[in-house]
Structures are given as structure tokens and as C-alpha cells.
């Protein structure tokens, strides 16, 4: 719904962007709301004692955030953020609705031009799986590195 609103309604109000820019903005806007909640939950998960210890040590607010709170919060949010990265990758085919040709769009065009439907769509499906798997492996390495 956000994608259609940004692409079809905003030009009626005088704000016109390319399909790709609109798609990037729409996906970014959509997932920013989810990641905001992930970060909020990660910050709230830092024990109250850590805040109190920083206050007791008379640390400035900036130092409290950068040295005490955020390093602990980031460790907690990496798994959820990784899930959203993979979900965002899987949502890119929705951009075809506003004429952005991404991998699946190119495969469908190729299929229509050459009358071969199984092969291009299978290749793109495998590509999505491989990219998602590699992203999950990279996130797993990052998680292990942050935890230890």
C-alpha cells in the first residue's frame, strides 16, 4: 500500500520521483519502522544497573550511550536485524508493481521474449536462496563475533 501511495498519489501532489527512487524510499520507510522497534527493544533490554552504574561513575550522557548502552544493545539486536535484511531482499520483487525491473522482473521479461519460463524463474529462485543463505551465514559470523 505504501508503495502504491508513494508512486501514484504523490505525483498528484507535485512530488514526482523515478520508480527506482520511489521503490528504495518505500522499502526503506517500511523497514525503518520495524528496525526502530528492534533498536528500541535492544536498548530497553540493557539492564537498569548499567544505566545506574554509568550515572554513579558520573559519565557524560554521550559516553554513557557510546561506551555502555549501545555496545550491549547492538549485541541484542543483530539477530533481528539480520532477519529484516533477508526479508527486505525477499520483498524487492514487489517493486515490479511500479515498473522497477529487478531480478524477477528481468527473468519474466526474458521468459516472455524466449518462451522459456521454467529456466529463468528457477535461476532467479536459486539466486534468491543463495543470496539469502550467504546473508544468513554472514549474519551468523557477525553474531558470534559480537557475542564473544
Domain spans, the chain: 2-147
CA dist., res. 16 & res. 8, Å (int): 9
pLDDT tier, 146 (very low <50, low <70, confident <90, very high otherwise): confident
pLDDT band at residue 4, thresholds of 50, 70 and 90?
A: confident
Distance (Å, rounded) from C-alpha 75 to C-alpha 65?
A: 14
Q: Name the band, by pLDDT with cuts 50, 70 and 90, for residue 148.
A: low
> Which residues lie closer than 8 Å to 40 by C-beta, 6 or more apart?
none
* Correct CATH for 2-147 of 1.10.150.250, 3.90.800.10, 3.30.300.30, 1.10.3720.10: 1.10.3720.10
Distances from the Cα of 27 to the Cα of 9, 12, 53, 81, 101, angstroms: 17, 21, 39, 15, 15
pLDDT value of residue 125: 85
pLDDT single digits (tens) 86-103 = 888 888 888 877 777 777
Rounded Cα gap, residues 52 and 58, in angstroms: 10
Amino acid at each position: 500500500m505504501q508503495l502504491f501511495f508513494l508512486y501514484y498519489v504523490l505525483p498528484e501532489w507535485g512530488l514526482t520521483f523515478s520508480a527506482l527512487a520511489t521503490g528504495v524510499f518505500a522499502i526503506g520507510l517500511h523497514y525503518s519502522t520495524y528496525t526502530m522497534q528492534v533498536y528500541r527493544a535492544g536498548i530497553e533490554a540493557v539492564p537498569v544497573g548499567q544505566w545506574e552504574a554509568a550515572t554513579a561513575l558520573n559519565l557524560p550522557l554521550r559516553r554513557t550511550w557510546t561506551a555502555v548502552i549501545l555496545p550491549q544493545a547492538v549485541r541484542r539486536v543483530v539477530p533481528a536485524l539480520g532477519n529484516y535484511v533477508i526479508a527486505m531482499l525477499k520483498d524487492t520483487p514487489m517493486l515490479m508493481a511500479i515498473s522497477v525491473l529487478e531480478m524477477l522482473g528481468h527473468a519474466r521479461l526474458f521468459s516472455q521474449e524466449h518462451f522459456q519460463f521454467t529456466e529463468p524463474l528457477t535461476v532467479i529462485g536459486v539466486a534468491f536462496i543463495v543470496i539469502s543463505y550467504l546473508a544468513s551465514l554472514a549474519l551468523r559470523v557477525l553474531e558470534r563475533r559480537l557475542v564473544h
